[in-house]
Structure 1
Amino acid sequence: MDVFTLGEAMVCFSPTTGLLDAAAHLGCSVGGAELNTAIGLSRLGHHVQWTSRVSTDPLGSRLLAVLEAEGLTTNRIRRSPDLPTGLMLKDRPTTEARVLYYRRGSAASALTAEDVDEDAVSSARFVHLTGITPALGPGPAAAAERALAIAGAAAVPVSFDPNFRPQLWNERQAAALYRRLLPSVDHLLCNEAEARLITGHQDLDRAVSALADSGPRHVIVKRSADGVTALCDGEQVRVPAWHVSDLVDSVGAGDAFNAGWLHSRLTGLGVRTGLRLAAFAAAQVVRHAGDYEGFPSATHIADWLAEHDRQPDPAPPQR
């Protein structure tokens, strides 16, 4: 297996035209940070297992149908007859969508450490986690920490996106958990606000250095239109954003970036090429409505790579 991940996915309803408060018809899709990244990786040819819980309700069935169509391994998804599948509504007054979540008491909020398959984690080439899952409650937090502990014992590299959600918890709670997890993280994929939240430094360069000192070999700060600032194995790298002239919906861009970066690690690309590829993947998503629908295919990425440098990374230092 290439990548193990876990978390909550939700069914998403959004207006086919106009705004939510006046919409006569709603389109139906699915979304969720870890799931979006998992779909992105699967489209690039990687074997991905996503672990979660969904309801036996029709929305849960819709989710599973999408996952299976996208080629994800779903044998570790438990279905609950008593708890609903999470739901989100998306409004687009601008290209910055407004998302309303209805996830309290969802099936995924009942995740526990027992849901995490030790063999699946220890045999993966990467484990990808986000800060959303621990924010869902004690059970999901225990599941994420068990995955992290198994990965550490098996020397499986971990990527982590804080994905801070103020609807789920406050900054103090989130920062405390992030700081506790970072010594076990190899690849930190955050935004500027999260870098400052975790470190307390307003200066971005100081924040990046402090994050690297806390454990991750790769600290990558996604800065939207300002590109990417990274510190990878002690080397500072800056990459511009990929220009998008037809922006539709910014939701899912960070998840696509994560998928692009992990793809570059799994295929041995150089750091700078990997960051540029990740920025390119993010740019494709924002040209489409929906959290994952615009994720590029393996052919799309291969065509892009054919036009760019493909220098492999040097051997990483021993940890």
Structure 2
Amino acid sequence: MSVIVVSDLRKQYDQKVVVDGLSFAVEEGEIFGILGPNGAGKTTTVECIAGLRKPDGGSISVHGLDPQRDAKKLHHILGMQLQQSEMPDKLKVAEALELYASFYENPADWRELMADVGLKDKADSAYNKLSGGQKQRLSIALALVGSPKVAILDELTTGLDPAARRDTWELIEHVRDRGITVLLVTHFMEEAERLCDRLALIDGGKIVALDTPAGLVSQVDTEQKVRFRPASALDDTLLTALPEVSSVERHGQQVVVTGTGNLVHAVTSVLAQHQIVAMDLRAEQASLDDAFIALTGRRFDHSAQ
């Protein structure tokens, strides 16, 4: 069942078109990702879905509600964490959650929610004393305190260190486990691959591809590489005879096997049969970065984020 339906969405500022005819649907209970570089139109798209911006054209439905016409009703079923969100420095975690809960008719238990996001011991901490990861956890809690059916999370892990980012990913998965549909805006390829059931890849205000992460990658190249150092003598013909293998190359002590299908299993099985240990074995295949390059003709500029 589609809970968000976007049809031919258009938005421009002055003479610049930032969203150019986007159409997609988000299914109930999934994490749907909107992935693209800076300036692609991602944030404008979700702000239109949340009713924060008025589209210039097209239509949007969220659980049957129009974000502009039914703004008050939408407020009670949609929670949103904005890309740029700050709170008063001295506002305490518990105070913020209690305040936001008061905005809703049937809010979640904010004390329970505070514990769920790992902030119970920070209840009396001021906002300006929280770490970046703790602020993001609070942002998620505030987006969920109204017991929404849909949560929009916009560039949630920007600026976080790797450990805090992975903690936040686990938290997002828990959000989905609560039965909440998640619309996730990101420019992190690894984040999209880890979390999203499906992805809309956006560039220049247009959707250039929409599929599962694996589906997007498969559009690029099904070829894989396996690299390893054989611990003992290896006859290359053992590998070239495999139907999955297209080529075998040597780079010093390293063997590079290129092929398709279940290449890793095929290579490791034949090595095991001949009692050859594969040292430093590494499997490589196309990534979302590769998909973006193939589909747009240019590199994904992470430095601009």
Per the TM superposition, whether the score is higher than 0.5 is no
Structure (1 or 2) with the greater helix fraction:
1
Taking structure 2 as the reference length, the TM-score comes to 0.28
Taking structure 1 as the reference length, the TM-score comes to 0.27
Structure (1 or 2) with the greater strand fraction:
2
- Indicate the structure whose relative CO is greater, using CA pairs within 8 Å and at least 6 residues apart: 2
